[in-house]
Amino acid sequence: MRIEANEQRRMGLVEVYTGDGKGKTTAALGLALRAAGRGLRTYIGQFLKGSHCGELDSIAKLAPFVTVEQYGLDQFVRAGDVPLDQKVAARAGLARARQVLFSGEYDIVVLDEVTLSVCFGLLSEAELVELVDLKPAGVELILTGRLAPQSIIDRADLVTDMRQVRHPYERGIQARIGIEY
């Protein structure tokens, strides 16, 4: 069965970008860039991120087609050592993401690092599954982050697993402005 182009756009699929390799957020940002060029509106909610990075400056130039909000604090989070205020920020972010998803204002909703937020215990897997299951038909939902739960992978229409083969960090090269952040 062939689905017409206009019907396909209104379908709103679920995409997951996961894995231990670099490029999950970058892939989601690329999709937002492409969508803006076609007049679609994208909302990006960034979990675990609260510091300024280069993409925020670029995204500002794409307004009103792309909006970004950060739901994290300016601190590094490790599994098993999650500060309470980081959990509070993630919970507020999930509430905001739910509001945005059902607002009808956006064609695409990106929840960046949301799967890692589940892995670290900031959000529950059940909450994320519920959000995916209740997604409005006309909204494309993009979930990024390492260690995507199998329950999310099973619900996705597209899953990309970014596999790290080599990384400059292994040779002592730190993250570079404009390249990694």
Mean pLDDT in residue range 30-42: 97
Greatest distance between any 2 Cα atoms in the chain = 52
Mean pLDDT in residue range 40-68: 91
CA distance 120 to 115: 9
pLDDT value at 76 more than 80: no
Mean pLDDT in residue range 16-24: 96
What are the structural domain ranges in the chain? Answer: 5-171
- Give all strands (DSSP E) within the chain, no chain letters: 14-18, 42-47, 66-71, 108-112, 140-144, 158-161
Q: The whole model's pTM is what?
A: 0.90
pLDDT value at 4 more than 80: no
Fold that domain 5-171 belongs to in CATH: Rossmann fold (3.40.50)
For 77-112, what is each residue's pLDDT tens digit? Answer: 667 777 788 899 999 999 999 999 999 999 999 999
Residues in the chain: 181
